[in-house]
């Protein structure tokens, strides 16, 4: 639980440092992208600190291309 608290504390510090300048300069698209990436990164960090099983993105990519790979392998045998 300490790790989750520290991650949330770091996230709050990042928000306090970055958001005011984005709001001041009226950068709504950048603020939106920053918020989504920070939320995603914080959620992944919390999940890792709680020992959640997070799949590797490369596994998803290989599963996506596996049928094509099998087709090519059969074609060139």
The pLDDT tens digits of the residues spanning 51-63 come to 999 888 898 899 9
**Whether pLDDT at 77 is above 90:** no
H helix or E strand, kind and range, residue 54: none
Per the prediction, the chain carries an average pLDDT of: 93
Taking residues 9-37, report their average pLDDT: 94
Model pLDDT, residue 55: 86
46, burial (CB in 10 Å: exposed 0-12, middle 13-18, buried 19+): middle
First-to-last CA distance in the chain?
A: 54
Helix 2-24 × helix 28-49 angle, to 10°: 180
Percent of the chain topping pLDDT 90: 75
- Least confident piece of the model among 9-13, 14-18, 22-26, 45-49: 22-26
């Amino acid at each position: 639980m300490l790790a989750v608290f520290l991650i949330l504390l770091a996230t709050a510090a990042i928000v306090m440092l970055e958001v005011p300048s984005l709001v001041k300069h009226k950068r709504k698209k950048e603020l939106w992208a920053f918020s989504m990436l920070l939320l995603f990164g914080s959620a992944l960090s919390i999940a890792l600190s709680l020992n959640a099983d997070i799949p590797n993105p490369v596994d998803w990519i290989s599963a996506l291309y596996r049928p094509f790979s099998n087709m090519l392998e059969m074609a060139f045998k």
